[in-house]
Structure 1
Amino acid sequence: MSSLHKGINLALLTAFISGFANFINKYGLELWDNSSVYTTAKNIVAAVLLTVTVLAVRNFPEIRRLTRKQRAQLVAIGFIGGSIPFLLFFRALTIIPALEASFIHKTLFIWVALLAYPFLKERLSLMQLAALGLLLLSVYLGGAPQTFTFGAGSLLALGATLLWAVENVFAKRILQDVSAAVVGWARMFFGSLFLLAYLAVTGNITQLIPATLPQAGITLGVGVILFGYVISWYAALKHAPATVVSSVLVLATPITALLNGLFIQHAFPAPILLSLAVMIGALLILLERPQGLFLKRQTTPSHNT
């Protein structure tokens, strides 16, 4: 299996995990009074699991060999991707309907493509640009809110999405020289430290310990899912272009819709079929010649995994 195909397969796995995470997260928000405390708690669980993983696969010698610049970049990843956008997005979920926040987040691939062109030199053909348009249409067909009021909550969700887009592009650069396991660990470890600092400043850090068994259970469960998401996502990003990885992640939308239909509405969500058909068609067009999306300056793949 080529590195590119490995990246695409990992992106598919990430989309599957993300679909479940989107569905389960709303239950976590209902059990916790403070969205910032909830997102910090689950992120800490993921950070602990990633730390154990780094220890198990003996990545710490690699961390010790990192340059000062690389270490600063990893801290920045924690700030840009592992802390601020989580605070923004989960706060948005308490202000606007989850459907509206999810729709905004699903435009991530558009922002990544716009940033990847100048900063990663990922070139899109006219057909691939058309595929991105079809992908956006599929997101609209599969879950656009019937009424859309662009207010404070929408701005928070958009801000989080833009920061995650920046993270995708920035991480892709770092992943040329640093393993996916170390970058993923840094994202959640340093991100959790920033989140803890935020809770300390706002006086909410005492709420971090779960008060009930359901709170503890949902936090552990979502933390494990987030751990799997970060591991597979960064591995996918190392092997495939950022535009491809972020586009494939859109497949999480019909998975969430299916789970919501079956377990909440107790009916098969038929409207997702058209959305899924358009989505798959768009991805097939985009993935027809994905090699052209690679970094122009990338000559040989890194041996880090």
Structure 2
Amino acid sequence: MKHTVLLALLAAVISGISIYVNSLFVSGADPLAFVLVRNALVAALLFAGILVFRGLPYFRLPLSDWKKLIVVGIVGGGIPFVLFFTGLRETGGVAGNIINKSLFLWVTMLAYISLKEKPKPAALAALAFLAAGTFAGSGIMDLKPGRGLFMVLAATMIWSVEYILAKRTLKTVPVTLLAFGRMLFGLPVLVVWSAFRGTLTAPVGIMPQFLLPVALSGFLLALFMVSWYGALRRSPAYLVSGLLTVSPAVSVFAAAGFSGKPVTGNFWSIGLLAAGAILITVSALRRPSVHES
């Protein structure tokens, strides 16, 4: 359990750094074109890594497992990206990110229903701290219903379903192959939507100055998925999704560290997130088995 908790924390750190890197370099690129190129690059990186370190026989899975990979790819790496970025254009980045931060709440509810995960009181208290830290001063009460907002909410809920599908798929499919499948089988959805929008050639038009950021973002995403799925394989879904809520706080410190400027932000929010992360980590390390009951 100790190692899987560390993997989840590593995934949170990588995600936080990725948030900072993406905000710094790719604000001038078409988001969906950026995601399409990046996800294709990640699929290629994972394929090459598996081929070099595991060999071609590693890809020999039963047809039933390949079907699971296709579903995870469509549900995790395709449809929600389309909904999220389309909705983001209509509702704005601030409102969209507030909704997306609710992911761990949906995961916790779905995991309770479908995976029979039952967090103990200490874990529930930690989740309460994380929720308070996530939404403190976020302006959630000022959100106005609209098509864009509902699209972002739909994307968030679909990503929560991915947690459940991935958790079940990881019983028979290796972590790296699941990460590869998520990227590979999500690509057709992104391509079809880009063609529908008439922006299929947009990835080709990504300017040279974005190539390095795309490569860096892709490398970080590959590391994130391997860490995330590695943690999810042996830890409850609510625990992994809960720890990932500290990613925005990590990005705040990453921004301060790389820019040399003082840390800025909602310190109440950061403090609550830190308290929740510590409490849920301690709760997990004291847990005797993979699933609480």
Structure 1 and Structure 2 fold alike (TM over 0.5): yes
Q: Provide the C-alpha distance between the structure 1 equivalents of 2:288 and 2:86, rounded to a whole number of angstroms.
A: 38
Residue 16 of structure 1: CA displacement?
Answer: 0.9
Match among 146, 160, 164 for residue 159 of structure 2:
164
The equivalent residue for 2:226 is: 231
Match among 270, 276, 284 for residue 276 of structure 1:
270
- In the alignment, is the contact (CA less than 8 A) between 2:122 and 2:283 conserved in 1? no
Q: Provide the C-alpha distance between the structure 2 equivalents of 1:149 and 1:256, rounded to a whole number of angstroms.
A: 27
Q: Which amino acid aligns with 1:139?
A: T
Q: 1:98 aligned to 2:90? A: no
Deviation sequence 1:215-244 (CA, Å, 0-9, x none): 323222222221221121111111221111
C-alpha distance 194-265 of structure 1, shift in aligned 2 (>3 A)? same
Q: 1:26 aligned to 2:55? A: no
Q: Provide the C-alpha distance between the structure 1 equivalents of 2:33 and 2:172, rounded to a whole number of angstroms.
A: 34
The equivalent residue for 2:11 is: 14
- In the alignment, is the contact (CA less than 8 A) between 2:13 and 2:250 conserved in 1? yes
Deviation sequence 1:141-193 (CA, Å, 0-9, x none): 26446842232322222111111111011101111111101111100111123
Q: 1:116 aligned to 2:77? A: no
C-alpha distance 270-222 of structure 1, shift in aligned 2 (>3 A)? closer
- In the alignment, is the contact (CA less than 8 A) between 2:104 and 2:242 conserved in 1? yes
1:294 match: secondary structure? coil
Q: Provide the C-alpha distance between the structure 1 equivalents of 2:13 and 2:237, rounded to a whole number of angstroms.
A: 18
Match among 175, 178, 185 for residue 173 of structure 2:
178
Q: Provide the C-alpha distance between the structure 1 equivalents of 2:206 and 2:133, rounded to a whole number of angstroms.
A: 41
Residue 45 of structure 1: CA displacement?
Answer: 1.3
When structure 1 is superposed on structure 2, of 70-79 and 37-46 the one drifting more is: 37-46
Residue 211 of structure 1: CA displacement?
Answer: 4.1
- In the alignment, is the contact (CA less than 8 A) between 2:231 and 2:240 conserved in 1? yes
Match among 279, 283, 293 for residue 285 of structure 1:
279
What are the residue-to-residue correspondences of 1:35-184 with 2, within 5 Å?
Answer: 35-58=31-54, 60-64=56-60, 66-141=61-136, 143-144=138-139, 147-184=142-179
Q: 1:221 aligned to 2:216? A: yes
Q: Provide the C-alpha distance between the structure 1 equivalents of 2:160 and 2:31, rounded to a whole number of angstroms.
A: 22
Q: TM-score, normalised by structure 2?
A: 0.88
- In the alignment, is the contact (CA less than 8 A) between 1:142 and 1:254 conserved in 2? no
Q: Provide the C-alpha distance between the structure 2 equivalents of 1:185 and 1:61, rounded to a whole number of angstroms.
A: 15
When structure 1 is superposed on structure 2, of 154-163 and 182-191 the one drifting more is: 154-163
Q: Which amino acid aligns with 1:50?
A: L
Q: Provide the C-alpha distance between the structure 2 equivalents of 1:249 and 1:61, rounded to a whole number of angstroms.
A: 33
Structure 1 residues without counterparts, runs of 5 or longer: 298-305
Q: Provide the C-alpha distance between the structure 2 equivalents of 1:275 and 1:59, rounded to a whole number of angstroms.
A: 46
When structure 1 is superposed on structure 2, of 248-257 and 217-226 the one drifting more is: 217-226
Q: Provide the C-alpha distance between the structure 1 equivalents of 2:179 and 2:207, rounded to a whole number of angstroms.
A: 30
Q: Which amino acid aligns with 1:76?
A: V
Q: Which amino acid aligns with 1:269?
A: T
The equivalent residue for 1:240 is: 235
When structure 1 is superposed on structure 2, of 204-213 and 282-291 the one drifting more is: 282-291
Q: TM-score, normalised by structure 1?
A: 0.85
C-alpha distance 107-239 of structure 1, shift in aligned 2 (>3 A)? same
1:124 match: secondary structure? coil
Q: Which amino acid aligns with 1:239?
A: R
Q: How many residues align?
A: 291
Deviation sequence 1:87-140 (CA, Å, 0-9, x none): 222233333343332222221111111011121111122332232122100112
- In the alignment, is the contact (CA less than 8 A) between 2:118 and 2:292 conserved in 1? no
